[in-house]
Amino acid sequence: MGLAKRIIPCLDVTDGRVVKGVNFLELRDAGDPVEIAKRYDDQGADELTFLDITASSDNRGLILHIIEQVASQVFIPLTVGGGVREVEDVRRLLNAGADKVSINTTAVLNPQMVADAASRFGSQCIVVAIDAKKVENQPFEWEVFTHGGRKATGLDAVEWAKKMVGLGAGELLVTSMDRDGTKIGFNNPLNKAISDAVAVPIIASGGVGNLQHLVDGVKLGGADAVLAASIFHYGEYTVKQAKEYMAQHGIEVRL
Amino acid sequence: MSKIDIAVVDYGMGNLRSVSQALEHVAPSKVVVVTSNPEDVASAERVVFPGQGAMPDCIRELDTRGLREAVLQAAQNKPFLGICIGLQMLFEHSEEGDAKGLGLFKGEVKRFAAKDMIDSHGEKLKVPHMGWNQVYQATSGQSQLHALWQGIESGERFYYVHSYYVKPADEGITSGYSEYPYRFTSAIAADNLFAVQFHPEKSANAGLQLLSNFVSWAP
């Protein structure tokens, strides 16, 4: 027995509140962040990821309060992403109680920021989020996109992953923009290509609709951790059920 | 100044809030102070020595703040808990940046050799070793279960994030070990000192139990 594969519920935060998206249009208050975090912790979540989707930069600091509250009562690793632009943003989030900070668009606009943050705080707390989409018009298969999947970068996702690890990323959060929200499963070939190309752990994200998708993410996609939102938020499955299912399929999990 | 029950040694390498919050959670009546003042470390009843980042930087920052002596003293005369780099720094030498450690224990801090590491399914293992791994309690060299393992099953999972591990010259100080894929020392015990490679402050109930055991430990 050895290291367990991790299950990470992802919570969206806007204007300081945890919300559930319904087709990205209607955002409903999902309840108290501490209660939600505690519930996932009780179910056996291995980590929690908070994604700040606040539109206005004025209100972006509000996530700090959520992280402070959660970190004082939930003792599992917390990752925070969304709107992280400067090394100073990383510092603020870590001081609020985040264990890892996920950097996405800024990594593309200013790769040096990843290096600076990693050398200042250690690679263990720097996650680079890669949003990738399958493309036909490029000499490679998957392209990196930014701004929530709207902006093409011309970068090969696999090469980009290697570059980010070279600059100090300690973990990669790989989201398939083709799969996100589809519930048809992770993009396993993409995840596998990146997982094989780098030495650091990979979190698979985007597309989970059922528990077999989590198993496939590990077995076919080579993921070290699987991230999911909707299957847990809407009570379709508990984290515990997901872990039991994975264990039945020969995957080592923390039960 | 009020008496300090637990001093968490702060040498400027990252966020120690999660450590202090977890201690406050298990010991609400205790005075927990995050401090870079050697006098606080000297006067506290118990000392927690955490660490994250690169060991050469940690040692340098420790010295910059004049904390080396106070930490070495505490490690030899009061309940002392090292966490992560706080375990690694207690040894003589680390492969990370070819750094000299505090030298309290003989032995090396070594890097996981990523290229040779394959799990039982033939998948390559990642470095850093990140996530929840099982910790087996060692009894060799100790006559009975260590007080810090009370209420924790051998094989319980704790949260790790590290690329280096300690290799004590004296295996008798190993109080816990994990496998990745080879067996490595993940906890050491010697008199008033206990130190762990994993993060009890991030290891849910098992970690809180260990911290609670530390707070009431009378070595």
| pLDDT on residue A19 | 82
The single-letter code of the amino acid at B50 is P
Give the C-alpha separation, A33 to B166, whole Å: 38
pLDDT digits (tens, 9 = 90+) for B4-63: 999 999 988 767 888 999 999 999 999 999 999 999 999 999 999 998 888 898 999 999
CB contact under 8 A, A71 and B207: no
Provide the residue ranges of all domains of chain A, joining segments of one domain with +.
6-249
- What the block records as the tokens of B207 is 């970690």
Mean pLDDT of B204-211: 98
| pLDDT on residue A26 | 61
CB contact under 8 A, B133 and A124: no
Q: Roughly what angle, to the nearest 10 degrees, separates helices A33-43 and A63-71? A: 40
In B, which residues are within 8 Å of A224 by CB distance? 126, 130-131
**B interface residues, A as partner, C-beta within 8 Å:** 13-15, 17-18, 21-22, 25, 52-54, 114, 119-120, 123-134, 155, 157, 159-162, 178-181, 201-204, 207-208
pLDDT of A25 > 60? The answer is no
CA-based nearest residue in chain A for residue B183: A2
CA-based nearest residue in chain B for residue A122: B53
Burial B43-62 (b: 16+ CB within 10 A, else e): ebebbbbbbbbbbebbbbbb
Q: Roughly what angle, to the nearest 10 degrees, separates helices A211-219 and A239-248? A: 50
| Structure confidence at residue A62 as a pLDDT band (50, 70, 90) | confident
pLDDT digits (tens, 9 = 90+) for B155-198: 999 999 999 999 999 999 999 999 999 999 999 999 999 999 99
The single-letter code of the amino acid at B153 is E
| pLDDT on residue B159 | 98
Question: Which residues fall within 8 angstroms of residue A171, CB to CB, at 6 or more apart?
Answer: A100, A126, A127, A128, A200, A201, A202, A203, B128, B130
Domains delineated in chain B: 6-216 (3.40.50.880)
**Cβ(B57)–Cβ(B64) below 8 Å:** no
SS3 content of chain A, % helix, strand, coil (to 5): 40, 25, 35
Residue found under tokens 């970190």: A71
pLDDT of A225 > 60? The answer is yes
B58 in active site: no
Higher pLDDT, A195 or A229: A195
Report the candidate in A55, A43, A46, A98 with the shortest Cα–Cα distance to residue B157: A46
CB contact under 8 A, B201 and A75: yes
| Structure confidence at residue A23 as a pLDDT band (50, 70, 90) | very low
> Judging by beta carbons within 10 Å of its beta carbon (0-12, 13-18, 19+), is residue B122 exposed, middle or buried?
exposed
Percentage of chain A lying above the pLDDT 90 cut: 73
Give the C-alpha separation, A170 to A192, whole Å: 17
Could you tell me if A76 lies within 8 Å of chain B, comparing CB atoms?
Answer: yes
CB contact under 8 A, B15 and A97: yes
Residue found under tokens 């098992």: B206
pLDDT mean across residues, chain B: 93
Give me the interface pTM, i.e. the ipTM. Answer: 0.93
Nearest to A3 among B22, B129, B208 (CB): B129
| pLDDT on residue A1 | 66
Question: How many residue contacts between A and B have a Cβ separation below 8 Å?
Answer: 102
Mean pLDDT of B112-120: 79
Higher pLDDT, A57 or A194: A194
| pLDDT on residue B141 | 56
| pLDDT on residue B1 | 56
Q: Where are the beta strands (DSSP E) in A70-134?
A: 78-81, 100-103, 126-134
| pLDDT on residue B13 | 76
Q: At the top level of CATH, which class does the domain A6-249 belong to?
A: alpha beta
pLDDT mean across residues, chain A: 91
Helical (H) or strand (E) element with B69: helix B68-77
pLDDT of B122 > 90? The answer is no
| pLDDT on residue A103 | 96
| pLDDT on residue A60 | 77
B201 in active site: yes
Beta pairing partners, A101: A80, A126
Count, in order, helices (H) and strands (E) of chain B. 6, 13
Report the candidate in A165, A164, A191, A162 with the shortest Cα–Cα distance to residue A178: A191
Catalytic residue among B58, B84, B96, B129: B84
| pLDDT on residue B29 | 96
pTM for this one? 0.94
